Structure 1
Amino acid sequence: MIGSAIGVVDLLAIVAIGGGLLLAGVGGRRYLRLRAVARRAVETTGTINGKRIQLVRGSGGSQSYVPVVDYEYRTPTERREGTTVYPGNSQFAKQFGPESAAETAVADYEPGGQTTVYYDPDDPAHSFLIANPQTATAISLVVIGLAALVGGVLLVV
């Protein structure tokens, strides 16, 4: 065996450091993007057409629930439709474990009622009803990534 061969501990350290940097980077980028979208969002009035809870099945039989509200809103140039409650890439930006929590998130939205809608002026199709970005997942990725990074560094030391 060559004297400079990488040992198992060194390999684990490399994987931990690389994975930690990747997770922290993805989480940090997601956090900054959500905050930026919420900051530049423009407020308008919308009409609620309906609401529902969507079941999402994950791997291993896990289940989560997504609150969905169907609504219409106007930008200065066009009438649009949306379904997203929280800011993010899609209506799946915020998922709830218990169905009752997702039901609580949409409890105040009644069909035919008026509501405030926020939309991204850079992408008017990206709209949402609650301007407070749900950054817990992004922050969790950063924390897990930093923990892996520190663990990998400690393996080297």
Structure 2
Amino acid sequence: MEFTVRGTPVRITKGTVIIVLVCLAGITFGGYDYVQQSEAVDDAVPVEATIEGASVTQSESRGSLDYYVQIEFTYQFQGTQYTGDQLFPGSISQSYDTRSDAQSAIEPYEAGEMVTAYVDPADPSDGFLERQTITSPFEFIAIGGLGLLLTALNAIGARKPGTETGLRSEHEYTSTRYQTLFGVDRGTVHSLSIRLLKIALFVLPASVVSVAGILLFAGSGSGDQVNLQVELTDPAGVLLGMVFLAAITLVIAVLFYSVWSFTEYRRLRERIPEPRPPSPFTHPTRLVTICLGNYKLDAYGKRIQKTGVAFLVVLFFLGTLAQILIF
């Protein structure tokens, strides 16, 4: 189905409807679970509980390992025996980035220990041990909201921007803008960014694997958890330094490439005869369609796509750095 709103084309397909419904379901589920958590915490009453067992499990998701706690305890409420398995209230389990974080969460709960649990008198079968809410439901809300936003932006605007763009030949028009970047010839900046990117993408995973191998070898032979102190002069310390330098090199390479790619887009845009189409970087509907589109792009569209992806990578690195500095 296609229609226009104030001259702006909008196209809705079966896939669009399905994605929107899934995103709304995720947002609704996350919001509902957080409300349920809050009500359970507010209405909770303490009861005595006995820990039957506690352990840590791991699960691979999106290429990374997440750790979860499994805990079981028994308690009585108003003369009835119940068995609980929730550390926090709600139906969404709390995930941890490292095994040590998960271990710390269940450290106070050893098998056979008497502890305080909490129950909602309206639903005493769902007892929990920590009287506090967790932020996991907001992940469903954030993912659903992002998916809803991207789907809406993809449905609004031109269907296939970045195709059949009329570009004047370089013989007719040669841009004089951005001849240099950072005081250096733009071609040199591009070549340098690509070389740095290749070096970082080779050194970074190789160093990480080497550090992991050294630490596993040093910790092998003991069934107990060991704490290894790494100094800069040790092989592992040198490799960790290489990991850090490779990560910084990767950020610099992507930043240089992003700047070069955006200026290349601007130079291509100057070759489009008037009237020029709206800039995708000021019209996110066109930018999302180009970046997510599976149709054939021309030189102008491909440059927009590469520039948009480069910007997303830069934002990812900045977000990761901000998270490290905060925590």
TM range (shorter): 0.7 to 0.9
Q: Based on CA coordinates, which of the two structures has the bigger radius of gyration?
A: 2
Picking from 84, 87, 92, the partner of 2:86 is: 84
Deviations 1:64-95 (A, max 9, x none): 32223332222112232323211123xx7223
Picking from 23, 46, 63, the partner of 1:43 is: 46
Deviations 1:109-137 (A, max 9, x none): 23333211012323322111011122x22
The residue that corresponds to 1:28 in the other structure is 31
Query: Structure 1 residue 75 and structure 2 residue 77: aligned?
Result: yes
Q: CA deviation at 1:104?
A: 0.6
How far apart are the structure 1 equivalents of 2:138 and 2:62? 24
How far apart are the structure 2 equivalents of 1:80 and 1:153? 46
The residue that corresponds to 1:131 in the other structure is 131
Query: Structure 1 residue 10 and structure 2 residue 11: aligned?
Result: yes
8 A contact 1:24–1:145 mirrored in 2 = yes
Q: Could you tell me the TM-score, scaled by structure 1's length?
A: 0.73
CA pair 133-73 structure 1, distance change in 2 beyond 3 A: same
Q: CA deviation at 1:148?
A: 3.5
The residue that corresponds to 2:146 in the other structure is 147
Structure with the bigger percentage of helix: 2
How far apart are the structure 2 equivalents of 1:26 and 1:70? 25
Q: Which amino acid aligns with 1:39?
A: D
How far apart are the structure 2 equivalents of 1:146 and 1:54? 29
8 A contact 2:53–2:71 mirrored in 1 = yes
Q: Percent identity?
A: 25
How far apart are the structure 2 equivalents of 1:80 and 1:20? 35
CA pair 52-18 structure 1, distance change in 2 beyond 3 A: closer
SS at match of 2:116: strand
Q: Which amino acid aligns with 2:137?
A: A
8 A contact 2:52–2:72 mirrored in 1 = yes
8 A contact 1:20–1:145 mirrored in 2 = yes
8 A contact 1:19–1:148 mirrored in 2 = no
Q: Figure out how many residues of one structure are paired with residues of the other and give that number.
A: 149
SS at match of 2:125: strand
Query: Structure 1 residue 122 and structure 2 residue 125: aligned?
Result: no
CA pair 153-50 structure 1, distance change in 2 beyond 3 A: closer
8 A contact 1:54–1:66 mirrored in 2 = yes
SS at match of 2:54: strand
CA pair 30-80 structure 1, distance change in 2 beyond 3 A: closer
8 A contact 2:34–2:90 mirrored in 1 = no
8 A contact 2:52–2:112 mirrored in 1 = yes
Q: Could you tell me the TM-score, scaled by structure 2's length?
A: 0.39
8 A contact 1:17–1:150 mirrored in 2 = no
How far apart are the structure 2 equivalents of 1:116 and 1:50? 15
Q: Which amino acid aligns with 1:83?
A: D
